Structure 1
Amino acid sequence: MYQIKTFNAIADKGLNTFTPEYTINQPDNPDAYLIRSVNLLKAQFPATLKVIARAGAGVNNIPIKDATNHGIAVFNTPGSNANAVKELVISMMIATARKVFAAYDYSHQNINADISKQVEYDKAKFNGTELFGKNLLVVGLGNVGSLVANEAVNLGMNVSGYDPYLSADSAWKINNRVHRLTDLKQALKNADYVTIHVPKNKETMGLISNAEIKAMKDQVVLFNYARGGIVDNKAVVDNLGIKIQFYCTDFGDDIIADNPRVITTPHIGGSTLEAEDNGAIKAANTIMNFLENGDTVNSINLPGMKLPFNAPYRFTVMHQNVPNMVGQITTHLAQAHVNINNMANAAKAETAYTVIDVDNLNYKNQLLKQIQEIPEVRRVRLIAHR
């Protein structure tokens, strides 16, 4: 039996994904955390905890380094809310183009008046533009950005994309009418609309700042539905009404508050019932695949590995990425007269992951103790084939 501890409200469809071998929120010895936005940065992890799965994309609420040092695998669920974010971005593009928010405010302020004649006089104030034929730049062509780009093509926009780290999997998803550019400042020059869809890390913090805004054409509409901090809000405010016509973001900040050219939504990009279901289901399956098979696809702190499990037993070893680790591990197996059926090893930054399938098992407890006592090993697990 495996024990799962949840934080936040996890969609029932996700919890119902677990098989009868799993118990939910038993207080004893959790094997896994299933979370959304709970802040774990100062959490004390129990020794039994093997995996944390975030039902969503962002993991800035998880202490990745600390989890890694404790031998805990960390996962997210990329793409589970991508369609929800795409729909919100497209709707905000249409709303700003057609001045929907200003029109709503006008009608709301005149709700008790006979405005039929006044509307005919005033409606020219709300003349908008169409998206058809306009130039859109999508910065980041991953799960969300590729969907936004493809939808914008369907709307008749001229779409360009900038992503120096575009993966082969993501590239297959992108409409061939999306023109890929390799220089950000060059890409910004002709865009009427710019939307940001990159992960938040050291390289992307302040990605759009004064120099990038200076490269834009006048009266661009800018969208940030990725993460706060990727767009320099002070630089935006300094250029509102000049370079930037409107700034739409999902991340509030005092510096952009109460500005008529800033439209802030309360971090609702992925907040749909469907996205919550998708994230919870994906996170539940991720936990089960890791605990039962050692799979690490979509891991944040381990290399993505998925091996057929055809042998009776599987060792998984999370360890530092240093020389001779595989040799030390297999030496202990050889000394116990254990035959290796299959083996794989991969690394991600300073952490490596070794999977060894074996045909027989001698001195199980002694073997686990010997491998765990290798100084560079963070956690060793033995999984029996079901």
Structure 2
Amino acid sequence: MSKFNCKTYNKIAKKGLEILESVDISINEDRNVDLLLLRSQNMHDYDFDSTLLAVGRAGAGTNNIPVEKCTKNGIVVFNAPGANANAVKELVISGMLLASRNIYFGLTYVNSLKNTDKDIHEEVERNKSKFKGAELRGKKLGIIGLGAIGVLVANDAAALGMEVLGFDPYISVDRAWGLSTSVKPASNLKNLLSNVDFLTFHMPLNDTTRDFFDFEKMSSLKKGCTVLNFARPEIIVESDLCKALDEKIINKFVTDFPNNTLLERDNVIGLPHLGASTQEAEDNCSIMVSRQLIEYVHRGNIMNSVNFPNCVLEPSSGHRIAIFNENKPNMVGQITAKIADKGLNIIEMMNKSRGEIAYTLVDTIKEPSDDLIDNIKNIDGVLFVRKIY
């Protein structure tokens, strides 16, 4: 029997599952669950097994996972940031073309001619001027959020000849290095909004970004701007958006999150949440999060967690203990003192913190006894202890 059992929800790409099975992690066996791997499954009412170590989200967003509850129970939540970035980027570029060249409305018109007695060739030649559009080259694109997806959109739009303005006060150094030199930083948000022909959002959903784009900001837009949302529907105040569309403040709205209210309007182009719906993106997400789960259960390493600090310690020739503890003074001192009391030498050690939580990996020459593990657990402020190997 495999040491670890992984339960899956939704359709997880086979390539990731094969990686798990290759290291003797079983999939969906009828026994206690050590790992969860999912996509969009709502887990807020899920009753977690006491054996659960980690949850892997084969995608970027984790709004369907009770992250705070997981943290309190020592359950690490992983995601796959950037694994679907190229797929979303391509759809954003497609969305701009759909809107600027009136492709959607042209297709709708041509399809309406099916099963009629009209000469379709003559009809389209007579009416094609109704669908005359505009080229992307030379137009200004504003991007709010320069993470993995935003940077790719910026670079490809620039390559198409668009003038790109980016706004992200929290951009990382790595992302900044990845930006094309032709992408210009906006001095402020209002300056960006008032100058662009297209506006696209690439930001996570959190307390700061919820209802971010309201009527006040919409009113600052350049007249005739096309807005695209392939991020999260909740970052836009829908009632304000409808008002801006009805008053022609916004020319067209392209979204991956259509609903009844939005589709009542002719200037809305809705797609059926296709952002990450490519085989390549599903493979990438599944492979990425599977590798992270393996690193965690086999070596204690944490990469791309949304609730615990990233902490990667190269394997040594000894034995490893993983410790979750409160982030307060002298925790490391107390842990190492307990190890020293048992006469164990420490080979390597790493301690990382994130907010009120800290995570410590300790490699010792000799295998730690169950008595030592209990002694560490009994330290005030220690939350969970796991012997890795």
- 1:12-36, CA deviations, whole angstroms, 9 ceiling, x for partnerless residues? 1111112242111112122211111
Percent identical residues: 39
Structure 1 counterpart of 2:152: 147
* Structure 1 CA distance for aligned equivalents of residues 328 and 45 of structure 2: 28
What's the offset of the Cα at 1:211? 1.5
- Whether the 8 Å CA contact 1:219–1:245 is kept in 2: the answer is yes
Task: Please say which of residues 208-217 and 372-381 is displaced more in the overlay.
Answer: 372-381
User: Is residue 2:204 matched to residue 1:237?
Assistant: no
- 1:180-205, CA deviations, whole angstroms, 9 ceiling, x for partnerless residues? 12411221110000000001111111
* Structure 1 CA distance for aligned equivalents of residues 388 and 67 of structure 2: 24
User: What TM-score, normalized to structure 1?
Assistant: 0.96
SS in structure 1 at match of 2:124? helix
Q: What code does the residue aligned with 2:11 have?
A: A
- 1:305-349, CA deviations, whole angstroms, 9 ceiling, x for partnerless residues? 212121411111112222222122122111111111121211112
SS in structure 2 at match of 1:62? coil
Choose the corresponding residue for 2:139, options 120, 134, 140.
134
Matches within 5 A, 1:76-225: 76-111=79-114, 112=116, 113-225=118-230
SS in structure 1 at match of 2:374? helix
Q: What code does the residue aligned with 1:55 have?
A: A
Structure 2 counterpart of 1:295: 301
Structure 2: 5+ residue stretches without partners: none
- 1:158-194, CA deviations, whole angstroms, 9 ceiling, x for partnerless residues? 0111111101111121111100124112211100000
User: Is residue 2:363 matched to residue 1:357?
Assistant: yes
* Structure 2 CA distance for aligned equivalents of residues 139 and 356 of structure 1: 41
Matches within 5 A, 1:246-265: 246-265=252-271
* Structure 1 CA distance for aligned equivalents of residues 209 and 23 of structure 2: 42
Q: What code does the residue aligned with 2:254 have?
A: C
Q: What code does the residue aligned with 1:37 have?
A: S
Q: What code does the residue aligned with 1:6 have?
A: T
**Paired residues, what number?**
383
Structure 2 counterpart of 1:72: 75
- 1:61-93, CA deviations, whole angstroms, 9 ceiling, x for partnerless residues? 111111011111110001111111011110111
* Structure 2 CA distance for aligned equivalents of residues 94 and 170 of structure 1: 26
User: Is residue 2:273 matched to residue 1:267?
Assistant: yes
* Structure 1 CA distance for aligned equivalents of residues 229 and 23 of structure 2: 42
What's the offset of the Cα at 1:375? 4.2
- Whether the 8 Å CA contact 2:5–2:33 is kept in 1: the answer is yes
Task: Please say which of residues 85-94 and 259-268 is displaced more in the overlay.
Answer: 259-268
Q: What code does the residue aligned with 2:13 have?
A: A
What's the offset of the Cα at 1:259? 1.4
Structure 2 counterpart of 1:3: 5
Q: What code does the residue aligned with 2:92 have?
A: V
- Whether the 8 Å CA contact 1:223–1:247 is kept in 2: the answer is yes
Q: What code does the residue aligned with 1:301 have?
A: N
* Structure 2 CA distance for aligned equivalents of residues 105 and 264 of structure 1: 13
Q: What code does the residue aligned with 2:242 have?
A: V
Q: 1:28 to 1:140 in 2, by over 3 A?
A: same
User: What TM-score, normalized to structure 2?
Assistant: 0.95
User: Is residue 2:384 matched to residue 1:379?
Assistant: yes
SS in structure 1 at match of 2:142? strand
- Whether the 8 Å CA contact 1:251–1:264 is kept in 2: the answer is yes
SS in structure 2 at match of 1:160? strand
* Structure 1 CA distance for aligned equivalents of residues 121 and 68 of structure 2: 62
SS in structure 2 at match of 1:229? helix
Structure 1 counterpart of 2:57: 54
Q: 1:254 to 1:325 in 2, by over 3 A?
A: farther
SS in structure 2 at match of 1:215? coil
Question: Over the residues paired in the alignment, what is the CA RMSD in angstroms?
Answer: 1.4
What's the offset of the Cα at 1:215? 1.1
- 1:184-231, CA deviations, whole angstroms, 9 ceiling, x for partnerless residues? 122111000000000111111112111211111111000110112111
Choose the corresponding residue for 1:347, options 345, 348, 353.
353
SS in structure 1 at match of 2:235? coil
